[in-house]
Amino acid sequence: MSDVGPRRTDTRKTVEIVYGEPEAQLRSNMRLAMRNAKFETIIELDRTDKVRAFLGSRSPDLVILDGGLKGGAVSGLISDVRHGRLGRNPFIPFIVTLWSPTAELVHETANSGVDDMLVKPVSPQRLVDRIGVLTDNRKPFIVTADYIGPDRRKDPDRGSEIPKFDVPNSLKAKIEGERVESARFDSMISAALKKIDGLRLKRNAFQLCFLTELALPMLQSRRGAQNDVLETLQAIDKVGRDTAARLADSRYAHLGGVCRNLIDVAGRLLDDPEDPLDKDVELLKPLSDAILAGLNPSADAAEMAGEIDAALENYKKRQMTRGGR
């Protein structure tokens, strides 16, 4: 039976855990079990909005949430933390417990950036075991155009061009007996965030080219009013805005004008997708290509184009498979 480590039980009392559970009896049972396991600082909350308010002002070492908490979607809360929209530490470990793990709920929760999901009822020892995994073997993070969180891919070779990296983990530091100084930990978070911004910019640039290649045939054939091209143009606008915001304080700030031009073009195409101006359709590709090249100055253009083509082929195959079911 695994554990956080019998030689480190005296250090568990320094760990701060937020426990979000709607049932008072379950909160009481878990509080007792966790304290028996030497975890003494447990903040009990019964609604998602209360958890959100807490995380807005403090950064615990671990958050354990019931997936059915009232007061807002748990997946939305985790996503906001991961993307830096809530709290000061986007790398807090999250465990979500689920009574009814439907495929849709599991997919939604996984995409939020959660570290672990457990099906209820969950024994206290199993929870302690999972804390041990997050202490000793937490999965590295990956960054894509729409995801920041632990690498949850079942096939480690799939999408291997996406780099993985370790993130600050105060849970691990405290259990291992390290002194977690606020200023030093904040500095570690800032360094990791800069890395994320750099990775996100590169993934965004790739995504903008992918979306452009997806939209162009539909725009050129004047099928712009269909839902698929509207959704693609909206995605270009969304990714473009995220890219522009990240460019502002980066060493690639000179690409801001190109990115704003792309956003303007996407906006005009969305205003009149049934009869788009030829010049706007023609501008999409050179603008997205310029952003990709500018953010990857040392990369081989043909190799990047090949990656985009492969992504398009995989996307089309998935669409055909879904359509054939």
CATH number at residue 262: 1.20.120
With respect to residue 115, please indicate whether it lies within any of the assigned structural domains: yes
Same domain, 149 and 87: yes
Same domain, 11 and 83: yes
pLDDT value of position 7: 47
Same domain, 16 and 116: yes
Total number of residues shown for the chain: 325
pLDDT, mean over the chain:
89
Closest residue by Cα to residue 89 from 8, 157, 148, 153: 148
Domain boundary residue, one of 154, 180, 206: 180
Residues 94, 34: Cα–Cα separation, whole Å: 16
Closest residue by Cα to residue 185 from 169, 166, 198: 169
Residues 82, 78: Cα–Cα separation, whole Å: 6
Same domain, 94 and 14: yes
Same domain, 211 and 126: no
Residues 259, 253: Cα–Cα separation, whole Å: 10
Per-residue tokens: 169: 């983990």
Domain enclosing residue 258, as ranges: 198-323
Number of domains in the chain: 2
Per-residue tokens: 289: 């290509």
With respect to residue 284, please indicate whether it lies within any of the assigned structural domains: yes
pLDDT value of position 223: 58
Closest residue by Cα to residue 124 from 33, 63, 44: 33
Residues 192, 198: Cα–Cα separation, whole Å: 10
Same domain, 213 and 316: yes
pLDDT value of position 115: 97
Same domain, 150 and 224: no
Same domain, 158 and 237: no
Same domain, 165 and 241: no
CATH number of the domain that 57 lies in? Answer: 3.40.50.2300
Cα 131 to Cα 26, 42, 67: the distances in Å are 18, 14, 18
With respect to residue 190, please indicate whether it lies within any of the assigned structural domains: no
With respect to residue 52, please indicate whether it lies within any of the assigned structural domains: yes
Which residue ranges in the chain fall short of pLDDT 70? 1-9, 154-161, 222-226, 322-325
With respect to residue 188, please indicate whether it lies within any of the assigned structural domains: no
Same domain, 165 and 206: no
Same domain, 219 and 145: no
Residues 113, 89: Cα–Cα separation, whole Å: 13
With respect to residue 185, please indicate whether it lies within any of the assigned structural domains: no
Domain boundary residue, one of 180, 215, 236: 180
With respect to residue 186, please indicate whether it lies within any of the assigned structural domains: no
Three-class secondary structure of residue 149 per DSSP: strand
pLDDT value of position 302: 85
With respect to residue 192, please indicate whether it lies within any of the assigned structural domains: no
Same domain, 204 and 155: no
